[in-house]
Amino acid sequence: MNGSTVEIAPDQSPRISGVWVACGLLLLGVVFTTALWLYTEVHTGPFRGLRQAIHSEFPRSAPQVEGGQRKMHRGTPRILRITLQVQSDPRENDQQVARMIDRLVALSDEHHGLAGYDVLDVYLLWFRPEQKTVSRHEQREVPKLIEAGQVMPAFD
């Protein structure tokens, strides 16, 4: 060695206490949880009564209800979409599916009102163990349902 010494300068970067990091992460979690709750409440809240009525009528169906219009494309139809789980192949019994959809039309009109929509979409899903899901999509045009007397017209 040649006798020279190297001095290491103390680290001058700012330090943040671990307590503040933990508090910041907790606050971030609360903010995101609140935002997710608010979004879900606004997005699904108007359909809660209809969803509960469908669940009462069709137990074990795990109904999902959403509605609206695609915001990106103005002038597109206003759609009320109902997705249900069924316990057997929905492609086999057309009469049973027709009765189920007629009942869904009645429940939708009674608990949410269909007159504000152009289309009622119904998706029936049968989840078979360890196999692909079987689905059936049925669509009803609300103006035709109003003409047929199945839906009450809107009073503007």
Q: 2-38 pLDDT, tens per residue?
A: 666 777 777 777 788 889 999 999 999 999 999 999 9
The listed CATH number (3.40.50.920, 3.30.70.2960, 3.10.110.10, 3.40.50.720) that belongs to domain 47-147: 3.30.70.2960
Dihedral-angle region of residue 95 (phi above 0 means left; psi in -120 to 50 means alpha; beta otherwise)? alpha
pTM value?
Answer: 0.74
pLDDT at 63 over 70: yes
Burial class (CB in 10 A: 0-12, 13-18, 19+), 55: middle
For residue 154, the model assigns a pLDDT of 61
Do the beta carbons of residue 93 and residue 100 sit within 8 Å? no
Full DSSP string of 26-95: HHHHHHHHHHHHHHHHHHHGGGHHHHHHHHHHSTT---EEEEE--TTSTTPPPEEEEEEE-SS-TTT-HH
Looking up tokens 């606050």 gives 27
Q: For 99-156, what is each residue's pLDDT tens digit?
A: 999 999 999 999 988 888 999 999 999 998 899 999 999 998 988 887 777 776 665 4
| Residue extents of the structural domains in the chain | 47-147
At residue 92, φ and ψ (nearest 5 deg) are: -90, -45
Banded pLDDT at 72 (limits 50, 70, 90): low
Q: Tell me the pairing of strands 79-85 and 119-126.
A: parallel
For residue 156, the model assigns a pLDDT of 46
